[in-house]
Amino acid sequence: MIILLIGIVVSYIVGSIPTAYIFGKLLKGIDIREHGSGNVGATNVFRVLGKWPGIVVLLLDIYKGFWAVGIVSEILGMTSVWQRVLMSVAVVAGHNYTVFLDFKGGKGVATSLGALLGLALRIPSIGPVLLITLGVFLLIFLSSRIVSLSSICAAAALPLMTFILPQPVEIRALGLLIGGFVIFRHRPNIQRLLTGSEPRVPLFGASRKNPKK
């Protein structure tokens, strides 16, 4: 039990590392929460700092989830499905409610992806679920060019796929939790989607500047 608690705390702290905030300070000396959408996530980094910082932050946020679930769990000897699931929840919660920024963070999409990749590394049956979920994200994004809509649709597809495809009950519970987590964090975006004011991301050329995400 002590090892499990250590794993949960470590996962939460790793998830809490505010990569978008750090890059804002390092590259432009700004608090990214005061620019763009105010969100501490990769999409806002794309808008405020540019394409390459956005890509790096996106990859780092994915790696946070992957490292906690796929590597830390192995180091600590926590190999059961439910232990990995708890670490997945902890790392995503850390990203969304980081202790370093008064418990205000990102929306958990990239870190959730990393956690699922870490799970898929150890639990092969998750692979098809993850591929379909990513496929939903890409399909919606390519047709709408709206990141939030793509994330919401993928978040809805995730738990659905865990019930359609054979999965351990712990993974189904995680799918419901992560999917609900992502949708809950996108409440302001849902309001803008309903009013038609949610910004689109150009696929080519310069990014459209818009203060909202």
At 40, the pLDDT band (50, 70, 90 cuts) reads very high
Average pLDDT for residues 32-52, to the nearest whole number? 91
Residue 211 has pLDDT above 90, yes or no: no
Q: Are 178 and 109 in contact (CB under 8 A)?
A: no
Mean pLDDT of the chain: 92
**Integer Cα distance of 165 and 167 in angstroms:** 6
Residue 208 has pLDDT above 50, yes or no: no
pLDDT tens string 60-112: 999 999 999 999 989 998 889 999 999 999 999 999 999 999 998 999 999 99
| Residue 205: exposure state from Cβ atoms within 10 A (0-12, 13-18, ≥19) | exposed
pLDDT tens string 157-204: 999 999 999 999 999 999 999 999 999 999 999 999 999 988 887 665
Sole residue written with tokens 């692979």: 127
At 1, the pLDDT band (50, 70, 90 cuts) reads confident
Q: How far is CA 196 from CA 47, 124, 131, 207, 213, in A?
A: 20, 39, 29, 19, 13
Query: What is the model's pLDDT at position 24?
Result: 96
pTM: 0.90
Query: What is the model's pLDDT at position 203?
Result: 63
Task: At 141, give phi and psi (nearest 5°).
Answer: -65, -45
